[in-house]
Amino acid sequence: MYSLETLRAMNRREVSRHYRNKPLLPVRTGDDCRRAPDYTGGDIPTIAKHFGVVVEQEFFVDSSGFGGSGEAALTFPRFCEKVNALISAKPERAYYAAVTGAGQFQVYVTIFSKEVRQHKTGRAAA
């Protein structure tokens, strides 16, 4: 039987191995979320901790393309508008997206961010 600390270490190695193959990709506009990696099996706090990011917001989005504006899931154009507004509200942060839950016709997309460091040259680096 493994100790609790050994189980935690094994879990950290497994999480690291899983996310190494699917890094978070930068998001500059809502449309960039189309290429967000699929982390549906992952735990959102674990994902955030692994990549050194914080959760900004989670969205429930229609993935079928047939959703309407009166439904609970956001249509993709409406989702893009909300992500663009989020990004423009805090331009000093770097943004990332991941699919963190999936159903038959909808997905949960989580937007992560982290503070952008300024180089001495004045250029930003994430």
User: What are the structure tokens assigned to 24, written together?
Assistant: 């978070």
Count of domains in the chain? 1
**How confident is the model over 5-43, as pLDDT tens digits?**
776 676 666 666 666 667 888 999 999 999 999 888 778
Q: What does each C-alpha distance from 108 to 19, 72, 98 come to in angstroms?
A: 18, 12, 8
Its domain, for residue 9, covers 4-125
pTM of the model: 0.79
